[in-house]
């Protein structure tokens, strides 16, 4: 099947990761995480994030975010996020339903929060009529394809902590961020004050699997119950853990992410040469947003599937992934040019 640019989760599974699943398929092991693969995968996360990191594997990104937020909140709390955040726009209200909290959506054109944007929402502390601000949640990479620099994360963490709040990072595309920033994972998350991280694997070549990482042991006493009650505890957990073994081995995650990012850069370069298309966001990771002539959308989608982000503009989103090829990008750009002439 022709690859498209719809989403990095339309891609399949990296061969090394698939192989690791097969390798873990040996006999019986205790379910729900008490197995050697999980032990080893947890050790790898501790290697990357620090020895006191606590790790909870879950099925998917929405599950990771909900488990993370549930651990940080009581139902009378509020979570502050960008209005484009996955937790606000793409999880069908799962965070509200499961945590009981209010989400406060901040308008920000590039998908990034700043202290200036967040500060107006930090009021009403101690006032029982007001949902109490408790978490700032950022996405790294953002849903608009943009990146936070470490200093920007630190500033938000300071703001959160100064108000007795927590900083959550939705890292569904954290590999793309680490690759683009050329920084270790922890240097722009834990080391900047992030309290809880949703660490994504699925969008970077895994079959399925995310990890919720806690850097503050005081927050984790209830998490195993929260994970089970939120239907995110996998019986045959070794098959998630084994994927992470391959993910980290020889920095596979980084190769995959660098490749996806590079493909986006090539696509960006191609697009910038095409008159009539306007790239609307900085291309910092593996996503490109562009306003295009409406007439090319349908014929283009027929060959290469992708999503229209904003019907009005119309603005489209093109995502690259670990398996995107340069040839596909050249073909895609060629088709656009043809459709425009």
Residues 198-237 that bind a copy of itself (CB under 8 A): 202, 207-208, 222, 224-236
Query: Which of 37, 41, 77, 111 is close enough to bind a copy of itself by CB under 8 A?
Result: 77
- The residue among 97 and 272 lying less far from a copy of itself, judged by its C-beta, is 97
Tell whether residue 197 is a contact of a copy of itself (CB under 8 A): no
Contact call for residue 196 and a copy of itself (CB under 8 A): no
Spell out the residues 6+ positions from residue 280 whose beta carbon is closer than 8 angstroms to its own.
Answer: 289, 290, 291, 315
Closer CB to a copy of itself, 12 or 150, in the complex: 12
User: Does 12 participate in binding a copy of itself (rule CB under 8 A)?
Assistant: yes
Measured over the CA atoms of residue 29, residue 231, residue 66 and residue 208, the dihedral's sign is positive
How far apart are the C-alpha atoms of 67 and 93, rounded to whole Å? Answer: 14
- By CB under 8 A, name the one of 16, 43, 44, 100 that touches a copy of itself: 100
Based on the shown chain and the rule CB under 8 A, indicate whether residue 245 belongs to the binding site for a copy of itself.
no
Does position 23 interact with a copy of itself (CB under 8 A)? The reply is no
301 binds a copy of itself (CB under 8 A): no
Instruction: By CB under 8 A, tell whether 11 contacts a copy of itself.
Output: yes
The yes or no reply on residue 1 touching a copy of itself (CB under 8 A) is: yes
* Phi-psi domain of 182 (left: phi exceeds 0; alpha: psi -120 through 50; beta: other): left
Looking only at residues 114 through 143 of this chain, which bind a copy of itself when binding is defined by CB under 8 A?
Answer: 123, 128-132
Euclidean distance between CA atoms 82 and 117, whole angstroms: 9
22 near a copy of itself, judged by CB under 8 A? yes
Residue 163 sits in the site that holds a copy of itself (CB under 8 A): no
DSSP one-letter code for 15: H
Q: Which residue has the tokens 């032990």?
A: 39
97 binds a copy of itself (CB under 8 A): yes
Query: By CB under 8 A, is residue 164 in contact with a copy of itself?
Result: no
Distance CA 94, CA 63 (A): 9
Among positions 38, 53, 60, 286, the unique one binding a copy of itself when judged by CB under 8 A: 60
Nearer to a copy of itself among residue 133 and residue 145 (C-beta): 133
Binding of a copy of itself by 92 (CB under 8 A):
yes
DSSP string of 18-32, one letter each residue: HHHHHHT-SS---ST
**Shortest distance (Å) from residue 143 CB to a copy of itself:** 12
Residue 63 touches a copy of itself, criterion: CB under 8 A? yes
If one asks whether residue 341 binds a copy of itself (CB under 8 A), the answer comes out as no
With beta carbons less than 8 A apart as the criterion, state whether 177 and 188 touch.
yes
Answer yes or no: are the C-beta atoms of 294 and 277 closer than 8 Å. no
Nearest C-alpha neighbor of 89 from the set 74, 106, 72: 106
Q: How far apart are CA 38 and CA 292, in angstroms?
A: 46
């Amino acid at each position: 099947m022709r690859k498209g640019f719809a989403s990095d989760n339309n891609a399949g599974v990296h061969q090394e990761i698939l192989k690791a699943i097969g390798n873990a398929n040996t006999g019986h092991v205790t379910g729900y995480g008490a197995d050697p693969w999980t032990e080893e995968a947890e050790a790898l996360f501790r290697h990357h994030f620090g020895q006191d990191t606590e790790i909870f594997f879950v099925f998917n990104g929405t599950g990771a975010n909900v488990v993370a937020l549930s651990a940080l909140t009581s139902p009378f709390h509020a979570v502050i996020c960008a209005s484009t955040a996955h937790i606000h726009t793409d999880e069908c209200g799962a965070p509200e339903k499961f945590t009981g909290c209010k989400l406060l959506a901040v308008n920000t054109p590039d998908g990034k929060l700043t202290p200036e944007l967040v500060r107006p929402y930090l009021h009403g502390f101690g006032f029982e009529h007001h949902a109490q601000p408790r978490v700032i949640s950022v996405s790294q990479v953002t849903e608009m394809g943009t990146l936070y620099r470490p200093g920007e994360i630190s500033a938000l963490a300071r703001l959160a902590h100064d108000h007795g709040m927590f900083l959550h990072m939705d890292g569904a595309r954290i590999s793309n961020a680490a690759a683009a920033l050329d920084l270790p994972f922890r240097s722009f998350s834990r080391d900047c004050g992030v309290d809880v991280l949703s660490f994504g694997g699925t969008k970077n070549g895994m079959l399925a699997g995310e990890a919720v990482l806690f850097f503050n042991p005081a927050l984790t006493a209830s998490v195993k119950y929260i994970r089970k009650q939120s239907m995110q505890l996998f019986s045959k957990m070794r098959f998630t853990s084994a994927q992470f073994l391959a993910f980290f081995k020889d920095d596979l995650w980084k190769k995959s992410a660098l490749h996806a990012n590079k493909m986006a850069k090539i696509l960006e370069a191609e697009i910038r040469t095409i008159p009539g298309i306007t790239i609307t966001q900085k291309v910092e990771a593996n996503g490109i947003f562009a306003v295009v002539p409406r007439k090319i959308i349908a014929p283009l989608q027929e060959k290469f599937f992708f999503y229209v982000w904003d019907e009005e503009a119309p603005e489209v989103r093109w995502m690259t992934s670990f398996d995107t090829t340069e040839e596909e990008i050249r073909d895609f750009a060629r088709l656009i040019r043809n459709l425009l002439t």
